Amino acid sequence: MSLPGRRGRQPSPGTSRQSSEAREKLRRRLLGLIEGNRVMIFSKSYCPHSTRVKELFSSLGVECKILELDQVDDGANVQEVLSEITNQRTVPNIFVNKVHMGGCDQTFQAHQSGLLQKLLQENSAYDYDLIVIGGGSGGLACAQEAAILGKKVMVLDFVVPSPQGTTWGLGGTCVNVGCVPKKLMHQAALLGQALSDSRKFGWEYSQQVKHNWKTMTEAIQNHIGSLNWSYRLSLRKKAVAYVNSYGEFVEHHKIKATNRKGQETYYTAAKFVIATGERPRYLGIQGDKEYCITSDDLFSLPYCPGKTLVIGASYVALECAGFLAGVGLDVTIMVRSILLRGFDQEMAEKVGSYMEQHGVKFLRKFIPVMVQQLEKGSPGKLKVVAKSTEGPETIEEVYNTVLLAIGRDSSTRKIGLETIGVKINEKNGKIPVNDVEQTNVPYVYAIGDILEDKLELTPVAIQAGKLLARRLFGGRLEKCDYINVPTTVFTPLEYGCCGLSEEKAIEVYKKENLENRVIGFHLLGPNAGEVIQGFAAAMKCGLTKQLLDDTIGIHPTCGEVFTTLEITKSSGLDISQKGC
């Protein structure tokens, strides 16, 4: 048997490769065998494990279609393509009613648990084995993994335009209006800072350096367009049906898909995965939807935003304010209460302090009450009136652009969940699920940012989506681990963390127990994301302070400081570095 999750090896350089056309033809043939037979066994006549499986089905009185790979001319090619479809290199390779069972051991385990008998009784009359609603990172990962496992899959994806009319292609928030363009604009800002710093390192240049917003956004949008296309191509290669329509449940196992022209089509499926993600929240004040933009609009904005007010203290607010200031704009952040709620507050304040020292202005303890357009234009002029959260004080100021980053709302309220009885948290639209991402309706699952009490991060959604597909269709048992997931806030000085904040650690473990196993890891510095990624793996392995002490650092680096920590916070001693 192969190890769980082991991928099939690629042919060595010296071996012959099938042409892509022949390979695709063979793939279609194999999928046809899988789709067209109640039980499909890919076997080798001399394999004792294959013999055991055949004897099992014979004892159950079940007719099987068997392809002996050692007795057909293209057996090696069949096994190679099968490994791509199933991630399994060995035989027997077994499918029951289009569900990939795995090998001999998995099939006997399914027989003992009763799963095999259940699968043998299934005779689906649905259009698809799986329909995924939402073409973001998590939804696409789930859909493609299910297709690899031999299932008939559809992805429904439709972007409702923002109030400013912005829309985008396949790939979801991360690719189009989130992580990818954000990191590229962050990089643009860092390059500007590097230019400024370079004079102190001996670089001399006389010409004035300025930033061109249009050049940057065009390059970013071209890159995003290439990613949109690659997603569509990947779905096509895996035979996943992609429908650019808005999905809404109309009855159990049935969904209505409405395209941009208002044309309606109905589809049915045995199982559904909801992966609709979230959209930016608005203030509900005069002028917010008419004149303000959000992160949905910023990354494709066709003009430089000019003097900008960012409303909010979320990581989205601070990241956007950071790179806007980094490309030379006048930026103010209006904060209602605290920075980076849910993150370590000492680190959050250090993030804010660094930004303030580098030109970002903060309006603390104020909330906007009105946004009024004074002049149209690209950009125009907007008057913002705000009031204090601590008294009667009111202020007003004129900006070119107002960016809202006050949180996001789950896109779950207008997809017919109430029609089929899927429960949501009425306050925030989040969907409660069990530990296998299953909702209260057994055939409906959910992944990604819409889950209640789960992390809203792209890699989490991708991992959850892949593992969900493998459990549903591949006989696997692994669940997504939502503990100790690393993340980074890409502010001008990056803040990376993994595990608990200090506040949460004290709440959970009490203060006297905080200096043993590493339960929270925080770094504010250049390339924090790159540093934290490695330490996150160590935390998964049970990292302790002693193991850090036993590790020799790489000098000179930012990360080496974690191998030489001696001063505790409670001691009150100075932690400033003093040489090597």
| Dihedral of alpha carbons 234, 238, 239, 245, sign | negative
Alpha-carbon gap, residue 334 to 102, rounded angstroms: 55
252 is catalytic: no
CB-count burial class (<10 Å; 0-12, 13-18, 19+) for 16: exposed
Alpha-carbon gap, residue 520 to 288, rounded angstroms: 38
**Catalytic position from the list 211, 252, 253, 555:** 555
Using alpha carbons only, what angle is made at residue 217 by residues 212 and 222, rounded to the nearest 5 degrees? 135
Query: Would you call 167 helix, strand, or coil by DSSP?
Result: coil
Alpha-carbon gap, residue 478 to 454, rounded angstroms: 17
Helical spans, DSSP H, in 268-372: 288-291, 295-298, 315-326, 345-357
**E strand spans, 451-559:** 487-489, 495-499, 520-524
Alpha-carbon gap, residue 319 to 301, rounded angstroms: 17
End-to-end CA distance of the chain: 52
Residues 313-325 as b/e (b if ≥16 CB within 10 A, e otherwise) read bbbbbbbbbbbbb
Whether the CB-CB separation of 519 and 499 falls below 8 Å is answered with yes
CB-count burial class (<10 Å; 0-12, 13-18, 19+) for 516: exposed
Q: Which residues are catalytic?
A: 555
